[in-house]
Amino acid sequence: MTFMPPGEHLDGTTQECAHLHLLLACFRASPPPMRLPEVTGRPLPEVLATGIIDPDVFHTGYGIMAARYEQLGICALLPLERVWAGTCSAARHGTARGYGGFHHPAQGYRHVQMDAAVTVFGDLTGQTPVSPQAAALDLVRSYAHDCLHYATFRRYRLTDRGEIARVQYGINFRQPDGRTYSAPDIPGDGPTRNLGIVMEGATDAEATAIARQTAQSCGIIGTDVEAGLVFADVTGTVTAGRIEAALLLDHPYARSLGRFGSTVTLRYRALLSELSVSPVDAHSQIVAAMISGDLAPLEAWLDARHGPGSFTRMFRAPTCGAEPGLVR
């Protein structure tokens, strides 16, 4: 195993690149165990064999995912054995860490380690039975999401202290000292201007589209998934009204869903609508640039619709111009 995901590049001298490769390989030498606080689990292939997750639904989603990502030019998916799946929690029933799924705290992909942690959707404390179909559909979304993170272009270089610095991730840039190209979003509504949110929104739009197609192929309509709210979230059909309502529910998972929806999903949708009369076209341009790491086609597309220098004008932090030596 080379320990180099698709689209990963190392910058520097031959010696620096060799050192970077060695550092990354040390982090990636063995798959998880990855541990989430108060959660126990096993590598995903072992969990798939237990019946906790409906294997037919997951494998249907896997096939849809593989075909879609091949269309996008992705040559490999995150190996299943590098995904750790949490199946039970010692947290108190009704708390955020006691309920699993895409919005569980701290789960997700780790780029330096090249592995991911997910949790089985539903009550992890054993108080309420988990729905195998719902768990499988949520897992399809989580795994598709992490596979696109795995395949997104990234560039590393050594810092002055000999540490790993990720200086480019998709369409986003960062100095070795941590300074970023775009600033955090201002709280509120409207289109996002933060490139991290742009890419998170684009990644989840792909993942939820795959989950939606999986649900259609398997005949799942959401009757077993928390009164339809989570089903709508997993399949990318959740509305602004339901997101706002989720923020008011007395359930930590619902509130986490609502926060993600308001800060990522809705603001990404607003950006797509702002960029083009065809949000699908705008999304396709963003995803292609994320995977290739080449911004020229996206910049040309934006310039043709919004004038020269649109990418910089929309996404560059106001302080960037005064900071010398930024990656971009």
Written as tens digits, the pLDDT of the chain (328 aa) is 557 888 999 999 999 999 999 999 988 987 666 678 889 999 999 999 998 999 999 999 999 999 999 999 998 999 999 999 999 998 888 888 899 999 999 899 999 999 999 999 999 998 888 889 999 999 999 999 999 999 999 999 999 898 999 999 999 999 887 788 999 999 888 999 999 999 999 999 999 999 999 999 999 987 554 568 999 999 999 999 999 999 999 999 999 999 999 999 999 999 999 999 999 999 999 999 999 999 999 999 999 999 999 999 999 998 775 454 556 6
CA–CA separation, 139 and 46 (whole Å): 14
Residue 117 zone, left/alpha/beta (φ > 0; ψ -120 to 50; rest) = beta
Let me know: does 20 contact 56? Beta carbons within 8 Å. Answer: no
Instruction: Output the pLDDT for position 279.
Output: 96
CA–CA separation, 118 and 97 (whole Å): 12
Residues whose CB is less than 8 angstroms from the CB of residue 31 and which lie 6 or more positions away in sequence, other chains included: 43, 79, 81, 82, 84, 115
Residue 41 pairs with which residues in a beta bridge? 86
Instruction: Output the pLDDT for position 178.
Output: 79
Let me know: does 207 contact 137? Beta carbons within 8 Å. Answer: no
SS percent in the chain: helix, strand, coil, step 5: 50, 15, 40
- Coil, helix or strand at residue 98: helix
Let me know: does 268 contact 192? Beta carbons within 8 Å. Answer: yes
DSSP state string for 289-323: HHHH---HHHHHHHHHHH-TTHHHHHHS-TTGGGS
Question: pTM (2 decimals)?
Answer: 0.95
Instruction: Output the pLDDT for position 223.
Output: 55
CA–CA separation, 106 and 239 (whole Å): 25
Instruction: Output the pLDDT for position 165.
Output: 93
CA–CA separation, 89 and 131 (whole Å): 17
CA–CA separation, 207 and 235 (whole Å): 8
Segment (H or E) for 19? helix 14-28
CA–CA separation, 199 and 12 (whole Å): 26
Instruction: Output the pLDDT for position 37.
Output: 85
- In 10 A of CB 267, how many CB atoms? 22
Q: Per residue, what are the HEC states of 178-192?
A: CCECCCCCCCCCCCC
Starting at the edge strand found earlier in the chain, the sheet holding 39-43 runs 39-43, 83-89, 115-119, 108-110
CA–CA separation, 69 and 46 (whole Å): 25
